[in-house]
Amino acid sequence: MDTFILIGITGIGLGALYFLIASGLSLIYGLMGVLNFAHGSFLTVGAFVGFWIASKTGFETSMPEFILAMIVGGLAAGLFALLIEQLLITRLYDRHIDQALVTVGVALVVGAVLGGWFGNDLRMFPAPMWFLTAIDIGGAKIPADRVVYIATAVLLLVGNWALLKFTRIGLIIRAGVENRNMVNALGINVRRAFSTVFFLGGFAAGVGGVLVSVYSNGVSPLIAGTYLIYGFIVVVIGGMGSVPGSFLAAMMIGVIRQFANYYATGLGDFVVVILLAVVLLIRPQGLLGKVRA
């Protein structure tokens, strides 16, 4: 039973990491129709900036310092995302394929720059020591860092929900995902909503980057690779433009992947792709996605 709980919670922790990257991807796609291949580089930028802050404090960071690293990493990634949006994406207004292509270029250039500066080897991330302690949940010893991932993801989900539900810009974003042309026709500046979504998506990815570098024991320009792909899968399964859908799908995929990996060694990725195929065949719009008119 305790192994069951351990695998389950580790899966949810992994799902939380997927959610951090997928939430931004999903909103950006839902609102603007941009398939953002640069999202992985937002994650990497956040991870490196977070690493820079955290390593100022030596081999070990206290929890407030770690939270500071997370926030600064997130902000840096958010600003970087904003820069990319203003500099490149807005100029290719409504040329969706070209927008996707430009983000591919951004991902390549960012990877090359970081690789050229820091090399592609993993650098140890100075995480708080208590991440290594185990928390007792139902007889299972859960590594403490998993709890941090889950808490961060839940916090971001709630924050996201509150923003979308209670603020004016949130209302514009929701309306824009629903029908962008109508919002435009009503004389509301949707561009501002675009920038907001890019910043928020970048922020979530940057925070995710710091956590991913803890999870994979260090930072390198290559850490984003599999998370971006899992982010895409989560977005497709959860439904484009639906943040709760992404959350649900991320948790589901994290848990299924961990269980499959445990009971059938190494089959986790394979099972996830089968799941993707099944969802596409039964519900092409995703779990909580709406059918586009």
In angstroms, give the least distance from the CB of 121 to other proteins.
Answer: 14
- Site map (CB under 8 A) of other proteins, residues 27-46, x = contact: --x---x-x-----------
Rule CB under 8 A: say whether 269 interacts with other proteins.
yes
Rule CB under 8 A: say whether 122 interacts with other proteins.
no
Rule CB under 8 A: say whether 264 interacts with other proteins.
no
Q: Which residues contact 47 (CB under 8 A, 6 or more apart)?
A: 73, 206, 209, 210, 212, 213, 219, 223, 224
Q: At what angle do helices 190-215 and 168-178 cross, to 10 degrees?
A: 90
Q: Beta-strand (E) ranges in the chain?
A: 134-137, 140-143
In angstroms, give the least distance from the CB of 5 to other proteins.
Answer: 27
Rule CB under 8 A: say whether 159 interacts with other proteins.
no
Among residues 103 and 152, whose Cβ is nearest to other proteins? 103
Among residues 30 and 206, whose Cβ is nearest to other proteins? 30
* Residue 234 burial (C-beta neighbours within 10 Å; 0-12, 13-18, 19+): buried
HEC string of 205-256? HHHHHHHHHHHCCCECCCCHHHHHHHHHHHHHHHCCCCHHHHHHHHHHHHHH
In angstroms, give the least distance from the CB of 236 to other proteins.
Answer: 5
**56-64, 185-193, 194-202, 275-283 -> range binding other proteins (CB under 8 A):** 275-283
In angstroms, give the least distance from the CB of 285 to other proteins.
Answer: 9
Binding residues with other proteins: total (CB under 8 A)? 41
User: Which DSSP symbol is given to 87?
Assistant: I
Using DSSP's 3-state secondary structure scheme, residue 123 falls into strand
Ramachandran quadrant class, 207 (left: phi over 0; alpha: psi -120 to 50; beta: rest): alpha
Contact with other proteins (CB under 8 A) among 67, 82, 88, 171: 88
CA 177 – CA 174 distance, rounded (Å): 5
Contact with other proteins (CB under 8 A) among 63, 109, 135, 154: 109
Map the footprint of other proteins across residues 220-239, applying CB under 8 A. 226, 229, 232-233, 235-236
Rule CB under 8 A: say whether 219 interacts with other proteins.
no
What DSSP element (H or E) covers 46? helix 39-55
Rule CB under 8 A: say whether 214 interacts with other proteins.
no
In angstroms, give the least distance from the CB of 180 to other proteins.
Answer: 15
* Residue 1 burial (C-beta neighbours within 10 Å; 0-12, 13-18, 19+): exposed
Biggest CA–CA distance in the chain, Å, is 58
Contact with other proteins (CB under 8 A) among 12, 27, 69, 240: 240
**Tokens representing 23?**
């939430």
- Contacts with other proteins, residue ranges (CB under 8 A): 29, 33, 35, 88, 91-92, 96-98, 100-102, 104-109, 111-113, 115-117, 226, 229, 232-233, 235-236, 240, 266, 269-270, 272-273, 276-277, 280-281, 284
